[in-house]
Amino acid sequence: MDKFVIEGGERLAGTVRVGGSKNAVLPLLAATILQKGIYTIGNVPRLRDVNTMIRLVTLLGVRAEWVDKNRLRIDTTGVDNHVAPYEVVKEMRASVLVLGSLIGGMRKATVSYPGGCAIGERPINLHLQGLAALGCEVAIREGYVDVTANALKGGRVVFDAPTVGGTENILMAAVTAKGETVIENAAREPEVIDLVRMLKRMGAKIDGEGSDTITIKGVRSLTPCDYDVIPDRIEAGTFLAACGITRGNIVIEGCVPHHLKAVTDKLREAGMDIIEDGNSLRAAMTKKRPFAIDIKTTPYPGFPTDMQAQTMALMCISKGVSAITETIFENRMMHAAELRRMGADVRVIGNTAIVTGKDMLSGAKVMATDLRASASLIIAGLAAYGTTEVSRIYHIDRGYEAIEEKLKGLGAKISRRKDEGMGS
């Protein structure tokens, strides 16, 4: 197992380029199962989650090959299996995204029922209710969700909550269903829009993406396509928070600034200067300490839950008291206890963290508990006095491409080492 060793205190400066979006590429890879043929997907980040999705679709009969550093050639002509096994789904919950594409492409899917994860229970009841509304028969057997769709037809799907994965699964199931499907209370995230754009390029008829009502008119067949993944807004947001905490001055290239509006608005309120410049963001922190800001996570276009932990790290050195409320996942505050080990004053009451800013954090040995929590500990370490060691960084490799190289490029003192104290 690897760990990161960080010597805090360097102000980040320079230019960094963000990669393709993790949360966009996973459903795009699943969508290639919808229609047999050859696809090329560009701007694919080299991440552990991407490798896991490749492993999963390979088990279904896909041949995937890297043709360039960030470009995949996907051949789905040999897809002949509809079973997503426990061994893969337990490693990555997003494996459940093959449910919709297997139904759309093969009219049957058997997918290991995903369990809870570190940040919450994360049920898939809304995915299954939506599939049932499209005429699917859904059964749970021996830990697997078994779905058959002998008469896949359009239907009205009303989500209780705007679920990202649920919206993506229903989109993929509905594109070749007979008739019209309407998804109400649909997720509006840019990653959902990216999937719709790829499906449209394949010949799907979809309207309303980006709003809370999406209409899909089923088509008889689709055509494979080439597609480039959108930039990762959460990776960009993570660099913004790192810039803020180190009083840095950086340029983030290759992002879509309007995808980050809720984040940049809040960070400006905290005292950062952030300028949008085409596909770049120029960010600087000239104040000694950020102002305390309050944050409440909500579905897009609100403040993303995937930026909550990183912003909490920034607030640990703010001038004042900040309230950070998590409304999407019920257990997404595990980083608070680790931040306390670095001297932060964080009290968690229910789903709100009260952070009283301190002058300074001090380096410590801390443990990553999930993907974004790992990012928050790295951010805290960049500003802390002394050395911080973040263990269990396999979490960060799930969702950040070469984060230590990118941070080093900005002047951070961070290195990856073998963690001798941990089992392998």
Q: DSSP assignment, residue 325? A: E
Q: How far is the CB of 283 from ligand UD1 (least distance, A)?
A: 23
* Terminal Cα-to-Cα distance of the chain (whole angstroms): 5
> Which of 12, 94, 316, 333 touches ligand UD1 by CB under 6 A?
94
Q: Does 164 bind ligand UD1 (CB under 6 A)?
A: yes
Q: Does 23 bind ligand UD1 (CB under 6 A)?
A: yes
Q: How far is the CB of 385 from ligand UD1 (least distance, A)?
A: 32
Stretch that binds ligand UD1, among 35-43, 162-170, 176-184, 412-420 (CB under 6 A): 162-170
Q: Does 209 bind ligand UD1 (CB under 6 A)?
A: no
Q: Does 161 bind ligand UD1 (CB under 6 A)?
A: yes
Q: Does 305 bind ligand UD1 (CB under 6 A)?
A: yes
> Which of 20, 45, 100, 165 touches ligand UD1 by CB under 6 A?
165
Q: How far is the CB of 116 from ligand UD1 (least distance, A)?
A: 9
- Answer for the pair 181, 40: CB distance below 8 angstroms, yes or no: no
Strand partners, 140: 145
Instruction: Round to whole Å and give the CA distance between 260 and 381.
Output: 24
- Number of Cβ within 10 Å of residue 106's Cβ equals 17
Q: How far is the CB of 192 from ligand UD1 (least distance, A)?
A: 9
Instruction: Round to whole Å and give the CA distance between 280 and 266.
Output: 18
Stretch that binds ligand UD1, among 158-166, 377-385, 389-397, 404-412 (CB under 6 A): 158-166
**Which position's Cβ is nearest ligand UD1?**
165
Instruction: State how far the alpha carbon of 29 is from the alpha carbons of 256, 326, 395, 402, in Å.
Output: 21, 30, 21, 21
Q: Is 288 left (phi over 0), alpha (psi -120 to 50) or beta?
A: alpha
> Which of 149, 177, 270, 328 touches ligand UD1 by CB under 6 A?
328
Q: Does 124 bind ligand UD1 (CB under 6 A)?
A: yes
> Which of 166, 190, 244, 343 touches ligand UD1 by CB under 6 A?
166
Instruction: Round to whole Å and give the CA distance between 326 and 330.
Output: 8
Q: Does 312 bind ligand UD1 (CB under 6 A)?
A: no
Q: Does 120 bind ligand UD1 (CB under 6 A)?
A: yes
Q: Does 308 bind ligand UD1 (CB under 6 A)?
A: no
**DSSP readout, 63-75?**
EEEEEETTEEEEE
Q: How far is the CB of 113 from ligand UD1 (least distance, A)?
A: 12
Q: By C-beta, is 85 or 302 nearer to ligand UD1?
A: 302
- Answer for the pair 270, 288: CB distance below 8 angstroms, yes or no: no
Contacts with ligand UD1, 62-91, as mask; x by CB under 6 A: ------------------------------
Q: Does 53 bind ligand UD1 (CB under 6 A)?
A: no
Contacts with ligand UD1, 171-190, as mask; x by CB under 6 A: ----------------x---
Stretch that binds ligand UD1, among 37-45, 125-133, 218-226, 275-283 (CB under 6 A): 125-133
- Number of Cβ within 10 Å of residue 192's Cβ equals 26
> Which of 15, 58, 77, 125 touches ligand UD1 by CB under 6 A?
125
Q: Does 140 bind ligand UD1 (CB under 6 A)?
A: no
- Answer for the pair 111, 80: CB distance below 8 angstroms, yes or no: no
Q: Tokens for 228, please give them.
A: 């480039």
Q: Does 196 bind ligand UD1 (CB under 6 A)?
A: no
Q: Does 241 bind ligand UD1 (CB under 6 A)?
A: no
- Number of Cβ within 10 Å of residue 359's Cβ equals 10
Stretch that binds ligand UD1, among 30-38, 67-75, 160-168, 263-271 (CB under 6 A): 160-168
Instruction: State how far the alpha carbon of 31 is from the alpha carbons of 8, 55, 176, 188, in Å.
Output: 42, 15, 12, 18
Is 117 catalytic? The answer is yes
286-291 long-range contacts, Cβ below 8 Å, gap at least 24?
Answer: 286/247, 287/247, 288/247, 289/317, 289/318, 289/319, 289/357, 289/359, 290/244, 290/245, 290/314, 290/315, 290/317, 290/318, 290/319, 290/357, 291/318, 291/319, 291/320
Residues carrying an active site annotation: 117
Q: Would you tell me which residues interact with ligand UD1 (CB under 6 A)?
A: 23, 26, 94, 120, 122-127, 161, 163-166, 187, 191, 305-306, 328-329
